[in-house]
């Protein structure tokens, strides 16, 4: 009986153009074949997601796609798997995105393609995996915050006529969490991130397009931002200006600016130690509760 039912479900999925995907427990690639624009088939050329599931008794069905920082030249583990581990403790499923990097020869729009695909992929399979397709957020730190802010302002509703069923799904996040983010590619940018993302001589049009404080729209998702005044690598003006743009467009947001703290602190230190968690983590949980991501 179960075998017949499974065959029937697979047949229905094939008829509808949707691929049934088993709940993943390990890292998986975002495209079965080579990713668009791939320069090879080595790990650095293959964007992936790594799931971190909360205990069943804690799970809320909410999701966060996590973009680690690293100046678009690397991926910081403490801003990826550590965030996912923290969120899982509050019932939120985390998917850590391994996106392609400038250090491997990639430039915009490849990184944007990767985060767009990540959100579409999770949303397309959400119900199959016991998740809520209407509660899928994006989170990023530093350059990962730039990537997260890029999809917050440059999402789309999907391509209805696409052959790939995942491409038919919206890439709009339900909300965003930006941790000491690079936002601007202009005056307040982080030079290394800009060079890795856009190359050494980007056009003024490209600089404007990826200066995300200039691209906020009325339908930009609600956003939580935090930064420190002491941050000497990425100026606090990045968060201040993005929050001001959200305010002008009437988009709900929470902005937390702390006086002290070095850039790249993650949860509070580079070790996963609850005793050292920074107050921003408590502020985030409160905000996520307001948006029904946490109980």
pLDDT above 70 coverage of the chain, percent = 93
Q: Pick the closest to residue 103 from 193, 33, 1, 213 (CA basis).
A: 193
What pLDDT score was predicted for residue 19?
A: 47
The reply to whether 23 falls in a domain is no
Higher pLDDT, 144 or 5: 144
What pLDDT score was predicted for residue 11?
A: 38
What pLDDT score was predicted for residue 21?
A: 74
Q: What is the mean pLDDT of residues 195-203?
A: 98
The domain tally of the chain equals: 1
The reply to whether 10 falls in a domain is no
pTM of this prediction? Answer: 0.92
Binning pLDDT at 50, 70 and 90, where does residue 18 land?
A: very low
Query: Is residue 14 pLDDT above 90, yes or no?
Result: no
The reply to whether 195 falls in a domain is yes
Binning pLDDT at 50, 70 and 90, where does residue 289 land?
A: very high
The reply to whether 114 falls in a domain is yes
Domain CATH number, residue 158: 3.40.50.1820
What pLDDT score was predicted for residue 17?
A: 41
Domain that holds residue 149: 42-290
Q: What is the mean pLDDT of residues 200-225?
A: 98
The reply to whether 19 falls in a domain is no
Q: What is the mean pLDDT of residues 54-61?
A: 98
Query: Is residue 13 pLDDT above 90, yes or no?
Result: no
Query: Is residue 4 pLDDT above 90, yes or no?
Result: no
Binning pLDDT at 50, 70 and 90, where does residue 164 land?
A: very high
The reply to whether 241 falls in a domain is yes
What pLDDT score was predicted for residue 271?
A: 87
Q: What is the mean pLDDT of residues 278-285?
A: 98
The reply to whether 34 falls in a domain is no
**What DSSP string runs through the chain?**
-HHHHHHHHHHHHHHHT----PPP-S-EESSSSPPTT---SSGGG--EEEEEPPPTTT--S-EEEEE--STTT---GGGTHHHHHHHHTTT-EEEEEE---GGGT--TTHHHHHHHHHHHHHHHHTTTTT--TT-EEEEEETHHHHHHHHHHHS-----TT-SSGGGGS----S-EEEES----SSTT--HHHHHHHH-SS--HHHHHHT-GGG---TTPPPEEEEEETT-SSS-THHHHHHHHHHHHHT--EEEEEES---TT-TTSSSS--GGG--HHHHHHHHHHHHTTS--
What pLDDT score was predicted for residue 8?
A: 40
User: What's the pLDDT tens digit per position in 65-109?
Assistant: 999 999 999 999 999 999 999 999 999 999 999 999 999 999 999
The reply to whether 84 falls in a domain is yes
What pLDDT score was predicted for residue 12?
A: 39
Q: What is the mean pLDDT of residues 274-288?
A: 96
Q: What is the mean pLDDT of residues 159-185?
A: 97
Query: Is residue 255 pLDDT above 60, yes or no?
Result: yes
Higher pLDDT, 211 or 21: 211
Q: What is the mean pLDDT of residues 7-22?
A: 45
């Amino acid at each position: 009986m179960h075998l017949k039912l499974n065959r029937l479900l697979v047949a229905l999925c094939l008829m509808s153009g949707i691929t049934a995907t088993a709940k993943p427990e390990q890292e998986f690639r975002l495209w079965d074949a080579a990713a668009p624009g791939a320069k090879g088939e080595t790990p650095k050329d293959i964007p992936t997601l790594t799931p971190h599931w909360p205990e069943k008794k804690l799970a809320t069905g909410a999701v966060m796609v996590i973009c680690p920082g690293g100046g678009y030249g690397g991926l910081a583990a403490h801003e990826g798997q550590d965030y996912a581990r923290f969120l899982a403790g509050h019932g939120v499923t985390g998917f850590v995105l391994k996106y392609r990097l400038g250090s491997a020869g990639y430039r915009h729009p490849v990184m944007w393609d990767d985060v767009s695909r990540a959100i579409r992929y999770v949303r397309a399979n959400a119900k199959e995996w016991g998740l809520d397709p209407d509660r899928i957020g994006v989170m990023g730190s530093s350059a990962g915050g730039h990537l997260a802010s890029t999809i917050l302002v440059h999402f789309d509703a999907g391509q209805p006529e696409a052959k790939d069923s995942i491409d038919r799904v919206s890439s709009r996040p339900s909300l965003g969490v930006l941790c000491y983010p690079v936002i601007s590619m202009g005056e307040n940018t982080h030079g290394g991130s800009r060079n890795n993302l856009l190359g050494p001589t980007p056009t003024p049009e490209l600089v404007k397009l990826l200066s995300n404080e200039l691209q906020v729209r009325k339908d930009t998702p609600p956003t939580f931002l935090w930064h420190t005044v002491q941050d000497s690598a990425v100026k606090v003006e990045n968060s201040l200006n993005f929050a001001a743009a959200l305010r002008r467009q009437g988009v709900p947001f929470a902005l937390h600016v702390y006086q002290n703290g070095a850039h790249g602190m993650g949860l509070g230190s580079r070790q996963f130690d609850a005793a050292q968690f920074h107050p921003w983590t408590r502020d985030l949980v409160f905000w996520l509760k307001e948006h029904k991501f946490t109980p």
